[in-house]
A and B are shown apart, each in its own frame.
Chain A
Amino acid sequence: EPEVTQTPSHQVTQMGQEVILRCVPISNHLYFYWYRQILGQKVEFLVSFYNNEISEKSEIFDDQFSVERPDGSNFTLKIRSTKLEDSAMYFCASSLQGANYGYTFGSGTRLTVV
């Protein structure tokens, strides 16, 4: 069964540092997403990406965040200057185009900001 692959599985970074979280979506999928889950809280939508541009973003996705699909396979989430409250599990997901879609989620990257 095709998988969404995320690397690294766990990243520790110092406050104020930039981090890049990487994802390889399923190859024939066209929509890509980032979600996050702060420990003990809900899974929250961050951003969706289609046709090489952001199609939706939430209030959480402020100027500190950016996404990119640099090479047609990877899909990255960059946090420019991390804050303690960015500590969370970040999930990448992808889906097919079309109305009857379903997401496939990756296994997540646990980001710890110290």
Chain B
Amino acid sequence: AQSVSQHNHHVILSEAASLELGCNYSYGGTVNLFWYVQYPGQHLQLLLKYFSGDPLVKGIKGFEAEFIKSKFSFNLRKPSVQWSDTAEYFCAVNARDTGRRALTFGSGTRLQVQP
């Protein structure tokens, strides 16, 4: 079974700082990869997803992620964070070659951006 590790549980940044959140998964087959964001009191929203093609994926709100297959990683980046990016960020993986559609989530990273 696949698993997802997000090693940074809580990240505190100042506005305009650059962000990189780590995500590693364990699964040897073909995967779909996702990043979701959960703003305080709100539902999970899709930031970006990778299915195939260009391993550098651009999402909403200036976020991007890079799939590095050799490292089983899908790290999330943003060059300059804003206070409004304060939220919890979840990486998720789906084992596409199994035909399953269930997502396996990481434990999340809480991002706190200080003004």
Contacts and interface: CB of A to CB of B under 8 A. Distances in A.
Contacts of B105: 42-44
Interface stretch (A12-20, A69-77, A80-88, A99-107): A99-107
A56 B51 contact: no
A103 B102 CA distance: 10
A102 B104 contact: no
Nearest to B101: A48
Contact of A101 (B44, B101, B102): B101
A42 B107 contact: yes
B43 interface: yes
A28 interface: no
A31 B101 contact: yes
A57 B11 CA distance: 33
B46 interface: yes
Contact of B102 (A45, A100, A107, A108): A45
B108 A108 contact: no
Contacts of A43: 44, 90, 92, 103, 105, 108
B104 A106 contact: no
Contacts of B103: 35, 43, 45, 103
B71 interface: no
A47 to B, nearest CB: 9
Contact of B43 (A31, A41, A101, A107): A107
Interface in B79-114: 90, 92, 96, 100-108
A102 B49 contact: yes
B45 interface: yes
A52 to B, nearest CB: 16
A3 B90 CA distance: 20
B110 to A, nearest CB: 11
Given A45-B104, A91-B44, A95-B101, 16 more contacts: A31-B101, A33-B102, A43-B90, A43-B92, A43-B103, A44-B105, A45-B103, A55-B101, A56-B101, A58-B102, A91-B43, A102-B46, A102-B49, A103-B46, A104-B46, A105-B45
Interface of A: 4, 31, 33, 35, 41-45, 48, 55-56, 58, 91, 95, 99-108
